[in-house]
């Protein structure tokens, strides 16, 4: 009985919900169809679906909330990316001029090359700290490393990035960055 009711509800409101989500929030990301699917899944997970007086309103509200949550996640990710750009003193990529775009591509290549010279430990700790936003205490708990060691490793990696960028800004080629790896990534 429960399955038949759910199937009927799904068939009756699926297309309408997708269309309303698309109209209100656009084509994505997140995709309206994915959000609609998640909303129906949440409804199907309820133990006592019949206690909900208006299943359509419930599903639509869940879908709206899921969309809002996704936008918040995307916004938070963008804030982390902006923070990384700010910490590395990098201008946003959306500059209008072709020259600025070319310089940004070269700078990004430089950063990628510098990061490629990091030890696995440096990459892991930088990811946990900068991208995941974890504190040194949280990283220490997860990795078992002392906080002082975590701090030294992250500072050494950050110094290597800073040196790479400073060297490049003073006119050195992106291709001449290998020497910094030998000097700075031995953590």
152-178 pLDDT, tens digit per residue, is 888 888 888 888 777 777 776 555 554
179: Cα separation from own chain's centroid: 31
Reference 114, options 56, 70, 157, 169; nearest CA is 157
| Cα(81)–Cα(92) distance, integer angstroms | 10
For the segment 143-148, the average pLDDT, to the nearest whole number, is 90
| Cα distances (Å, whole numbers) of residue 3 to 7, 9, 49, 53 | 6, 10, 11, 17
pTM comes to: 0.42
**Mean pLDDT within 107-120:** 81
Which stretches does DSSP call E strand in the chain? none
CB–CB of 164/180 below 8 Å?
A: yes
Per-residue model confidence as pLDDT tens digits over 84-101 = 777 777 766 554 566 676
Assigned token pair, 63:
């879908």
Please say if the pLDDT value at position 63 is more than 90.
Answer: no
Instruction: Give me the pLDDT at residue 21, please.
Output: 76
Q: What is the pLDDT of residue 99?
A: 67
């Amino acid at each position: 009985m429960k399955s038949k009711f759910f199937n009927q509800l799904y068939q009756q409101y699926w297309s309408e919900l997708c269309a309303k989500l698309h109209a209100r929030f656009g084509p994505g990301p997140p995709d309206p169809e994915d959000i609609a699917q998640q909303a129906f899944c949440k409804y199907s997970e309820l133990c006592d679906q019949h206690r909900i007086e208006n299943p359509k309103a419930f599903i639509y509200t869940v879908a709206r909330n899921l969309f809002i949550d996704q936008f918040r996640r995307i916004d938070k990710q963008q804030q982390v990316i902006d923070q990384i750009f700010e910490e590395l003193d990098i201008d946003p990529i959306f500059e209008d001029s072709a020259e600025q775009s070319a310089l940004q591509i070269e700078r990004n290549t430089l950063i990628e090359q510098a990061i490629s010279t990091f030890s696995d430990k440096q990459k892991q700790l930088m990811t946990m700290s900068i991208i995941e936003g974890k504190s040194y205490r949280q990283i220490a708990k997860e990795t078992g490393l002392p906080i002082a060691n975590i701090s030294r490793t992250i500072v050494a990696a950050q110094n290597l990035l800073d040196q790479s960028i400073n060297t490049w800004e003073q006119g050195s080629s992106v291709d001449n960055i290998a020497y910094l790896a030998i000097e700075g990534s031995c953590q």
